Amino acid sequence: MSVQGLNRSADIGDKMLQVLVDESEINFEKYLDPIPEAERVKPAQSYEQALIDRFYGQDPDPGCYLPWQKTHSQFKFRPGELSVWAGTNSHGKSMLLSQIVLYLMAQSQKCCIASMEMKPLATLQRQARQFVGSEAPTIEALREYMAWCLGKLWIYDQIGTVKAERMLAVVRHCIKEIGIQHFVIDSLMKCGIGSDDYNRQKHFIDELSTVAKDSGAHVHLVAHSRKGDTEHKVIDKFDIKGAGEITDMADNVLIVWKNRQKEDDATEPDAMLIIDKQRNGEHTPKYRLYYHQPSFQSMTWAGDGKAIPDHYQRCRWMA
């Protein structure tokens, strides 16, 4: 590699360090406890402007969109909500979430990904392909991606299990100190709660929901489904592993299902994204997705597998 190439690689590395959330900088004791009850008692007058905005604001239903135009009139990620993502193991939940986070960033949202199953470099490598639209991005393209991430994306640098209380502290810290608007926890099973400990699961979900509502941030939690007789069956929210409160307390439940039986028929989808619950919306649609391997992107139309959707490519310039 040339000296110029080495300098470019070093520059990418410097930018990557700027997106990592360093545990040594977090005062966990400060964020282990929720908001004191005394601070929850507020005069009704303090809601005056919010009440006026609710009736006369430009957008009476604020929120962020999924990457695909056809979904925009049917679903939003609203402030103060908890979304649970579920699906059979290896059906592409994390991959799809990465693409969606990229689109949230394009909508000027500050996002943090806590993936305790993937190293930060692997997370960024996958999203870089989605950003560039290629399996072999140039060094210039990688520099562009990392520069674009500044002020928009943070990564919680932790592999392996994290205690639920510590995870909650990280979420509170990132919302309060960084201003994170979308926090992704991947996954529930890495939060130190036994699969049969329903009471602790309920408490954790309740706390996540409270953090979201108190702060106005949107929390995304990846959950897993129970093992069935076959992975070809399209699951629903009742198939999610764990306590029933996981879906009861969630504002949205999104199911990702991969079509393992697809053969040569291009009209058959590679996957489905199912909005199985939307508490504050009217629709629970199902979207057919078509996978583009080189870019790791999912689309909502059956192309020839080579084109990148124009509307998603524009994401790169929506700073």
Q: Which domain CATH number covers 106?
A: 3.40.50.300
Mean of all residue pLDDT scores within the chain: 85
Task: For residues 13 and 143, give the distance between their C-alpha atoms in angstroms, rounded to a whole number.
Answer: 9
Give the count of domains, the chain.
1
Question: Is 127 domain-assigned?
Answer: yes
Cα torsion 40, 45, 46, 50: sign:
positive
Out of 25-34, 82-91, 94-103, 237-246, least confident range: 25-34
| Domain region containing 297 | 63-317
Question: Is 163 domain-assigned?
Answer: yes
Query: In this structure, are residues 115 and 78 in contact, taking their beta carbons and an 8 Å threshold?
Result: no
Task: For residues 84 and 204, give the distance between their C-alpha atoms in angstroms, rounded to a whole number.
Answer: 13
Question: Is 20 domain-assigned?
Answer: no
How confident is the model at residue 19, as a pLDDT?
A: 73
pLDDT for 61-85, tens place per residue?
A: 789 999 998 899 999 999 999 999 9
pLDDT for 266-292, tens place per residue?
A: 778 999 999 999 999 999 999 999 988
Q: Of 276, 210, 275, 263, which is closest to residue 237 (Cα–Cα)?
A: 276
Question: Is 289 domain-assigned?
Answer: yes
Q: For 43-53, what is the mean pLDDT?
A: 85
Question: Is 33 domain-assigned?
Answer: no
Q: Is 218 exposed, middle or buried (0-12, 13-18, 19+ CB in 10 A)?
A: buried
Question: Is 10 domain-assigned?
Answer: no
Confidence of residue 301 (pLDDT cuts 50, 70, 90): confident
Question: Is 100 domain-assigned?
Answer: yes
**Token pair of 213 as six digits:** 């509502």
Question: Is 15 domain-assigned?
Answer: no
Task: For residues 273 and 74, give the distance between their C-alpha atoms in angstroms, rounded to a whole number.
Answer: 13
Q: What is the pTM of this model?
A: 0.85
Query: In this structure, are residues 178 and 153 in contact, taking their beta carbons and an 8 Å threshold?
Result: no
Task: Give the percent of the chain with pLDDT over 90.
Answer: 61
Query: In this structure, are residues 134 and 103 in contact, taking their beta carbons and an 8 Å threshold?
Result: no
**Nearest 5°: phi and psi at 148?**
-70, -25
Instruction: Label the pairing between strands 111-115 and 182-186.
Output: parallel
